[in-house]
């Protein structure tokens, strides 16, 4: 989608703080982090939400979320971890390109998600 900001970021047309990249995904730091290390998994192919993404990409995204959560927990020494994925405005989705939030949690933090 030509006017989708996450398509542009995922495909490298707009620079981003990238933690990981492969042929299907880019993982970037969130511009407005809910906690230290808050990152987003972006598929390179556009899908607006969970309803549009293929089963194959949904499975790959979850496997990548597991890997990232494990590595980030080691690197950041966080105490817990949220994996969040919003669909539709009432659910809090603001960017309509499927993404998964990787949110490191720290003892006593006040993150509201
Ligand atoms: P949503 O509310 O759609 O689940 O999450 C969108 C997330 O994308 C928010 O946490 C917001 O801070 C982040 N975000 C929005 N625009 C940009 C951007 O241009 N770059 C980055 N890195 N994050 C963004
Ligand atoms: Zn897109």
Record the pTM: 0.97
Strands (E) located in the chain: 18-21, 25-29, 39-43, 80-84, 100-105
Distance 34 CA to ligand 1 centre (A): 11
**For the CA of 95, the nearest atom of ligand 1:** 3
**Of all atoms in ligand 1, which is nearest to the CA of residue 84?**
4
Q: List beta partners, residue 85.
A: none
Nearest ligand, measured from the Cα of 29: 1
pLDDT per residue rounded down to tens, the chain (113 residues): 679 999 999 999 999 999 999 999 999 999 999 999 999 999 999 999 999 999 999 999 999 999 999 999 999 999 999 999 999 999 999 999 999 999 999 999 999 87
Gap from CA of 36 to ligand 2 centroid (Å): 25
- List CB contacts of 94: < 8 A, sequence separation 6 or more: 86
Cβ burial of 17 (10 Å; 0-12, 13-18, 19+) is exposed
């Amino acid at each position: 989608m030509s006017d989708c900001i996450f398509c542009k970021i995922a495909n490298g047309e707009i620079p981003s703080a990238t933690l990981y990249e492969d042929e299907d995904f880019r993982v970037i730091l969130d511009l407005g982090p809910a906690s230290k290390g808050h990152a987003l998994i972006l598929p390179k192919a556009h899908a607006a939400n969970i309803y549009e993404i293929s089963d194959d990409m949904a499975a790959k995204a979850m496997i990548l979320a597991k890997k990232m959560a494990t590595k980030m927990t080691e690197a950041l020494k966080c105490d817990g971890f949220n994996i969040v994925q919003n669909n539709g405005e009432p659910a809090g989705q603001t960017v309509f390109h499927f993404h998964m939030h990787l949110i490191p949690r720290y003892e006593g933090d006040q993150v509201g998600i």
